Amino acid sequence: MEFKQGDWVRIEKNGTVYEGKVMPSMEGYITIKMKSGYNAGFSIDKVRITLLENNGEIANGSNGGRNGVKESKNVTEKISKPGLPKIAILSTGGTIASKIDYRTGAVTSQFTADDILAAIPELKEIADFKGRVISSILSENMDSDSWQNLAKAVVEEIEAGAEGIIVTHGTDTMMYSAVALSFMIETPVPIVFVGSQRSADRPSSDNAMNAICAARVAISDIAEVVVVMHGTTSDDFCEIHRGTKVRKMHTSRRDAFKSVNSLPIGTVDYSTGEIKTFIDYTRRGEKALKFKPGMEPKCAIVKFTPGADPTVLDYYISNGYRGLVIEGTGLGHVSTKWIPLLQKAGDAKMPVIVTSQCLNGRICDRVYDTGRDMLKAGAIEGEDTLPETSLVKLMWVLGQTEDFEKAVSMLREDLSGEITECTHK
């Protein structure tokens, strides 16, 4: 069926009827904005689409749409689910859950998910929330056990019927937790990380807008682990970042989070709730829930600097570390003096992934001599994966297998959107 942006359509999927205005949609998909203000996206070949209004005009052969006859309205009301979508909000701590301790003047994590719901009443218009406290810590205190506990709780909530998950989290290490969950969970529903750069007691706090945008993504069709935070320094929209491609790029600005080597998945308009998407993403229900826990904590990132002493690698090799990420220069280099130590790590069956301090762009160790020597010594090119994402991937892969060759082959693969085929320019 032919449709274009602005048309009003009826979509039938598995006995449920949706009506709405056609939004900018990816090829093969149709995204509509429903009267409720929420967006829904569908794979065109899995639904039946009827044109109700041709960009404002009642379509030929249709019995009317938004302003038309009662029938279609009744159909929607009768078949659509009663009540709002069920969302579990899991709080871990951080500024979004913090307030000033007037005894010490310090910011401490004290709010629970229920406190957040009480403080931001708009959330209750969007979904039916259930709160669960996982921890009340600043995110610099998280570790790989915290990631696994959080992942387990998220999986339990999805199994218990949550149609979307929000994780409130300190922003400093939010990207590490988002990466960890991206590898540990195959999800049929959105898992949305959200935080705030400025605490609720400050007039410029970003906590309410970020939480409201996060709730809109949690009920959307984007079934991935994502980070939702301010897109600009104004209160206009939030960006939706893929968990494996996001990085905190500023210490204090509200728009500190940026997708690196990828566009964000999309944006959420704060006032209308409209979600626009820019790249392909996994849709709601496309994957079955799968939990793959396991993390090897003995992994590290080592940053190469000019003249750096290579024997620093000896520390890791002789202290039981199982894998390393090197933050090399430019295309992914270390000095010639480091090559024998890389070889030593390879001989000790420690995978070594090479990433770049440039952050933007792709590793290529085939151009210069040092790079070629690094590859001969067994180094794995991290492609366009961020150093932190590579570290968590390494920890997860080594938590899944003891077999060195298998680990190396998994590390070369794109497992959760961390390697993109073509570097974004």
Check: CB of residue 383 under 8 Å from CB of residue 419.
Answer: yes
Distance of closest approach, residue 34 Cβ to ligand GLU, in angstroms: 33
Of residues 90, 97, 89, 126, the one with CA closest to residue 205:
97
Q: Residue 424 and residue 415: Cα distance in Å, rounded?
A: 19
Q: Residue 183 and residue 224: Cα distance in Å, rounded?
A: 11
Interaction between residue 170 and ligand GLU (CB under 6 A): yes
Examine the residue annotation and report whether 143 is marked as an active-site residue of this protein: no
Distance of closest approach, residue 115 Cβ to ligand GLU, in angstroms: 15
Of the candidate residues 195, 243, 351, 371, the single one contacting ligand GLU (CB under 6 A): 195
Region near ligand GLU per CB under 6 A, out of 136-144, 283-291, 353-361, 412-420: 136-144
Distance of closest approach, residue 386 Cβ to ligand GLU, in angstroms: 18
> In this structure, how many other beta carbons lie within 10 angstroms of the beta carbon of residue 375?
16
Cα–Cα distance list, 350 to 131, 312, 323, 325, 399 (Å): 41, 15, 5, 10, 13
Whichever of 231 and 346 has its CB closer to ligand GLU, that residue is 231
Whichever of 138 and 218 has its CB closer to ligand GLU, that residue is 138
| Burial class (CB within 10 angstroms; exposed 0-12, middle 13-18, buried 19+) of 160 | exposed
Check: CB of residue 227 under 8 Å from CB of residue 194.
Answer: yes
Angle at 106 between CA 103 and CA 109, to 5 degrees: 105
Angle at 217 between CA 211 and CA 222, to 5 degrees: 155
Examine the residue annotation and report whether 425 is marked as an active-site residue of this protein: no
Among 21, 245, 248, 258, the active-site one is 248
Of the candidate residues 135, 148, 171, 207, the single one contacting ligand GLU (CB under 6 A): 171
Interaction between residue 94 and ligand GLU (CB under 6 A): yes
Whichever of 206 and 365 has its CB closer to ligand GLU, that residue is 206
Interaction between residue 140 and ligand GLU (CB under 6 A): yes
Examine the residue annotation and report whether 31 is marked as an active-site residue of this protein: no
Distance of closest approach, residue 174 Cβ to ligand GLU, in angstroms: 7
Whichever of 61 and 105 has its CB closer to ligand GLU, that residue is 105
Q: Residue 325 and residue 382: Cα distance in Å, rounded?
A: 9
DSSP per residue, 175-212: HHHHHHHHHHEE-SS-EEEE--SS-TTSTT--HHHHHH
Interaction between residue 197 and ligand GLU (CB under 6 A): yes
Examine the residue annotation and report whether 373 is marked as an active-site residue of this protein: no
Distance of closest approach, residue 141 Cβ to ligand GLU, in angstroms: 8
**Interacting residues toward ligand GLU by CB under 6 A:** 93-95, 138-140, 170-173, 195, 197
> Which residues form the catalytic set?
95, 171-172, 248
